[in-house]
Amino acid sequence: MYGGIVIDGLVLNKDLFYYKIPRSLVNTVKIGSRVTVPFSGKNELYSGFVFDIRKTPPHDTQKVKEISDIIEEPLFGKNIRDLFMFTATQYLLPLHFFVNQYIKTIGGKRLEKYIQFTMDLKKFDKSLQKEKGIKKELIDYLAENKLCSLSSIKKNFGRTTLQHIKDLEQIDIVRRISVETGKTTKYLTLTHSEKETKKMLDSIKKKRFRSAVSIVERLKKVKTHILDEKTLVKRIKYGRATLEILLKENILKEAPLIIKGTTNMQTQVPQFINGISLKTRNKQIIRQIQTEITPEGKALVIFPELALIRRVEEEYREAFGDDLFVWKGTNKRNFIKDVNMTGKRVILATPFSLFIEISQLELIVVSNASSKYFQQGDFLPFNALIVALKRASLEKTKLIFSSVLPEDNIFFLIKKGLIRQKEEESLETNIQIVDMRKEFKCKNRKMLSRSFEKQMRNILNKDGNVVLLLNRKAYSTFIMCRECGYVIKCPGCETSLYYDKERNKLVCPVCGYTTNLLDVCPRCKSPNIHYFGGGVQKLIEQVKDLFPDTAVIKMLSSGKASERKLLDSKNYSRTVFVGTEFLLSHLLLDNVDLFGFISIDIFLHHFAFDAAMNAMRVVSEVAGEMDGKEIIVQTYLPEHYAVSAIQNMDYKQFFEEEFLIRKELSYPPFKNLIIFTFKGKKNYETLGNGLKFKKILQKEFGKEIEILGPSPAAIPKRGEHYFYEMSIKTNLTINKIRPIYFEFLKKKTVKIRPEVHLCPLIV
């Protein structure tokens, strides 16, 4: 038998390495087992996960090495394995990178690389003793400590010391060894029946008897009769010592991790719930969890951000009490054991939990499903909605999507009859659209329209609260000479500089270059320099000028800790909250009387194919929370179809026009879209790699694939790097493109980043 292994700690474009399973391990090695294997020419031991077991390997058996040992019981089964394979394939992710990012930190035990000093100091070569600089410091450090972890060496001396270590290995000064590290939390349970346990306790010495009884009673109170060591001995006198006695006497034993699948489940049609507010939707979800899952079943509710979990935790705690497990964003290492051994039935977590094996999982809920943080991007290498659909399909679990309005993929599947929409909740809205072109004609140059300013004044005079959202931070977004039209740019990456008033500097948004303010134009020497555009900084200044007696609170994701915490508007009066989109998840709007979008055009003009959807999404999120209170949307494009739909929150009208455009232009959800970004230090080399890859794809697929580019990215040069983008539209499945892409990666000379937007029918 042979096992296909994903090896820990490696980022490789090869999916699996095959090893022979020795006879002694044939019956114990399973999918999801953590094993040790020899890897590389020196046969160093690495840990890894078993992803495949087969009778014959896919290559020459003479070169196949053997699995050395098992270090951890299976942490996932075939369904989660298939989910990993699906996600890695569809989103062009190297399986090693993906598994290491999402599951390596879950395992308790691991093999860590150590460097062992092997030579007697007296036998040091004279030339070696004469070494200088970092190499000499490294040798002295190793000689003194004898055994050092590779991670500590990198931390103290930097990654460049790896070459020095290789040099020292070649002359037998040091050697690499693998040391098993890591400690998993032990969960303990009773070994015998209650009657037998009582008899066995009588043999415990008087000094420890009361402590032993307290530990056993604590276990009996838990419905699963399983508790972790720390909880078991907390505040019990002589707890740790007594626990050791109970284990030695076989009164307690370690509870094995057993993951039970859900049985007798039929394929379920996913459901979409829309509602007025997050709170309203949560009430519906809580009711469904209470009525639709069995007493032994579990529900997983995933949120795009930890801030949202904090917002809803109290509601779920009130409904489920001790049956609730909440992931706080720390201690991911014990997550699998915590959710499977504590008996808790409802789990609140973020998207990584989609890849966690959960016993008897009967329901998955994707809350705030339209959030951009569920889409593939800087925070997530996949689309969580697509992955949730796939997991529900693999495990035949119920699936609910919840948001104020449906996300585009969800609406597409509703129209196809593949998602069932629960009876719609009517959304009461009071949205005013303000045409800023009229303000300009009336010579109003402020960021607030006259009607908006008047409404704010009325509310603030009554000690009410106002929120202003502007998705830009800078005081001015660009600086231009009015004489010759010259725009001040970064000398390194040619990006327009913005004015940061807090620092009183001109700043590059890409590479961070800063310079002092300019008095004259660098090109024509004219003093007629003007600062155009504006962000949160300028908006706050204008608000303070207009309402000097009003408190102003800034809310930015990049700000200080005080600007990033969760705020409840009920604790404030006569306050203006100003921030970017970040405030949508970090501010409770219950006591907000007026919400204003200073410029919805920033969303509409974003260079993404789904920009209009994002504009619709942010306004709908606010409309749900404001519950009929006034929302003002300022725009220079009142005739835009998205703005027209926003006024009445008519998402059906919006999608009707949006999908006509997308179908005409072959965008998702009608075709798969892959955007490849090429990054390199040389312009011709970066472009050349894009052109080569385009040629390979055209030769392989011909008319089955439409390729646009490569062309300069939205910001073509950043710092020392050049960026080019190439877009691919196709009905081909991604698994046909993936092997060609990975083969090209072996020859490429620049970095390539894929961004995949799938047609949801692929699931």
Q: Domain for residue 519, yes or no?
A: no
Tell whether the model's pLDDT for residue 695 goes beyond 90: yes
Range of the domain at 236: 187-254
- Regarding whether 329 and 448 lie in a shared domain, the answer is no
- Regarding whether 733 and 600 lie in a shared domain, the answer is no
Point out the least confidently predicted range of 274-278, 375-379, 609-613: 274-278
Whole-number Cα distances in Å, 502 to 133, 557, 558, 613, 637: 42, 16, 14, 33, 31
Q: Give pairs for 355-358: CB < 8 Å, separation 24+.
A: 355/76, 355/80, 355/83, 355/84, 355/102, 355/103, 356/76, 356/80, 356/106, 357/32, 357/75, 357/76, 357/77, 357/80, 357/259, 358/259, 358/298, 358/300
- Confidence band, pLDDT 50/70/90 cuts, at residue 517: confident
Percent of the chain with pLDDT over 90: 45
Q: Domain for residue 525, yes or no?
A: no
Region 538-565: what's the mean pLDDT? Answer: 83
Tell whether the model's pLDDT for residue 399 goes beyond 90: yes
- Regarding whether 581 and 454 lie in a shared domain, the answer is yes
Question: What is the reported pLDDT for 340?
Answer: 83
- Confidence band, pLDDT 50/70/90 cuts, at residue 130: low
- Regarding whether 448 and 327 lie in a shared domain, the answer is no
Angle at alpha carbon of residue 175, lines to 170 and 177, rounded to 5° = 145
- Regarding whether 466 and 437 lie in a shared domain, the answer is yes
- Regarding whether 641 and 697 lie in a shared domain, the answer is no
- Regarding whether 293 and 387 lie in a shared domain, the answer is yes
Q: What is the CATH number of the domain that holds 23?
A: 3.40.1440.60
- Regarding whether 645 and 544 lie in a shared domain, the answer is yes
- Regarding whether 414 and 356 lie in a shared domain, the answer is yes
- The DSSP bridge partners found for residue 489 are 496
- Regarding whether 340 and 306 lie in a shared domain, the answer is yes
Region 304-325: what's the mean pLDDT? Answer: 92
Q: What is the CATH number of the domain that holds 745?
A: 3.30.70.600
- Regarding whether 603 and 681 lie in a shared domain, the answer is no
3-state secondary structure labels for all residues of 377-399: CCCCCCCHHHHHHHHHHHHCCEE
pLDDT tens-digit series, residues 637-646: 899 999 999 9
Average pLDDT, the chain: 87
| Number of domains observed in the structure of the chain | 6
Tell whether the model's pLDDT for residue 74 goes beyond 90: no
- Regarding whether 222 and 177 lie in a shared domain, the answer is no
237: tokens are 């006198």
Question: What is the reported pLDDT for 93?
Answer: 92
Q: Domain for residue 498, yes or no?
A: no
Specify the pTM: 0.85
Point out the least confidently predicted range of 96-110, 564-578, 739-753: 96-110
